[in-house]
Amino acid sequence: MFPFDVILFDVGGVLLTNGWDARERALAAEHFHLELTEFEARHRSAYGEWESGLISRDSYLDAVVFYQPRSFTRDDFFKFVLAQSQWLPGGAIGILKQLAASNKCMVGALNNEARETNEYRFAAFGLRECFKVTLSSCYLGLRKPDPAIYQRTLDILGRPAERILFIDDRAENVAGAVQAGMKAIQFTNEEQLRGEFARLGLN
């Protein structure tokens, strides 16, 4: 019998690059001539709500960038944000596609992402073709590593926690899944994950 009913993947840092992390924000600050310290402070105050689906893209941008007149538009800025998303070198996309094609278990996403960037990333990189379920923070109103998001995941999936495998690149998110009773792997690269899969009998 296959060891798991469900295998869930994080997206940024496992399949794709992070869409809007510190590196990407620093590039945006340089490109659009924003003062980085203030930009980061405003981002921290608003991003949790955007990533949890509580505010829109424009509300986030108004709070973080367009609180004063700019020489560029919201669309200009957001196009730059989206352009930062790329395939992750050494990422797990090959493993994801093989697993999805095998039909041995349900394959899905458990990720933190704002709605507008999430939907772009899923569509632009064909991830929805692989995922049977998308448990994203913007849809659930909860973010990893809040224990509530793992409990909500278990409630939605209706599977025993020990029959769910979660893959994430961040130690705190892996720890949260383990605390909820799931099996979890901290992702480093494709070769490492294939080794972990072989050890768990995922052939």
Q: Are strands 106-111 and 164-168 parallel, antiparallel or unpaired?
A: unpaired
Mean confidence (pLDDT) of the chain? 97
In single-letter form, the type of residue at position 146 comes to: D
Is residue 162 in some structural domain? Answer: yes
- The pLDDT of residue 1: 83
CA atoms within 13 A on the CB side of 72: 15
The proportion of the chain whose per-residue pLDDT surpasses 90, expressed as a percent, equals 98
pLDDT tens digits along 116-164: 999 999 999 999 999 999 999 999 999 999 999 999 999 999 999 999 9
Residues 142 and 101 placed together within one structural domain of the fold: yes
pLDDT at 117 (0 to 100)? 97
Provide the residue range defining the domain that includes 74: 22-83
CATH value at residue 148: 3.40.50.1000
Looking at 111-202, list the stretches that DSSP marks H as alpha helix, in order from N- to C-terminal side. Answer: 115-124, 137-140, 147-157, 171-179, 190-199
Task: Look at residue 148 and tell me if it is in a domain.
Answer: yes
Residues 30 and 114 in one domain: no
Separation CA 87–CA 97 (nearest Å)? 14
Domain identity same for 114 and 165? yes
Tokens of 93: 């996309």
pLDDT at 165: 98
Is 124 found in the same domain as 186?
yes
Say if residue 112 is in the same domain as residue 78: no
pLDDT value of position 15: 98
- 145 and 121 belong to one structural domain: yes
Where residue 62 sits, what CATH number does that domain have?
Answer: 1.10.150.240
Helices (H), the chain: 22-32, 36-51, 57-64, 74-83, 93-102, 115-124, 137-140, 147-157, 171-179, 190-199
Residue 203: pLDDT band (50, 70, 90) is: confident
173-185 burial, b at 16+ Cβ within 10 Å, e below that, comes to: bbebbeebebbbb
What confidence tens digit (pLDDT) does each residue in 167-190 have? 999 999 999 999 999 999 999 999
Strands 183-186 and 164-168: parallel
Residue 147 falls within a domain, yes or no?
Answer: yes
Give 63: exposed, middle or buried? Use CB within 10 Å, 0-12, 13-18, 19+: middle
Percent of the chain with pLDDT over 70: 100
Give the end of a domain, one of 52, 83, 114: 83
Q: Are residues 11 and 102 in the same domain?
A: yes
Establish if 13 belongs to a structural domain.
Answer: yes
Same domain, 106 and 167: yes
Q: Which of 38, 58, 83 is the last residue of a domain?
A: 83
Q: pLDDT, tens digit, for every residue of 4-14? A: 999 999 999 99
Domain contains 1: no
Q: Tell me the pLDDT tens digit for each residue of 22-79.
A: 999 999 999 999 999 999 999 999 999 999 999 999 999 999 999 999 999 999 999 9
Residue 129, both tokens: 């073709």
Is 186 domain-assigned? yes
The arithmetic mean of pLDDT across residues 80-85, rounded, is 97
Q: Classify residue 158: in a domain, yes or no.
A: yes
Instruction: Name the domain boundary from 83, 105, 127.
Output: 83
The structural domain count of the chain equals 2
Q: Which of 153, 141, 140, 111 is nearest to 128 (CA)?
A: 111
**142 & 174 share domain:** yes
Is 151 contained in some domain?
Answer: yes
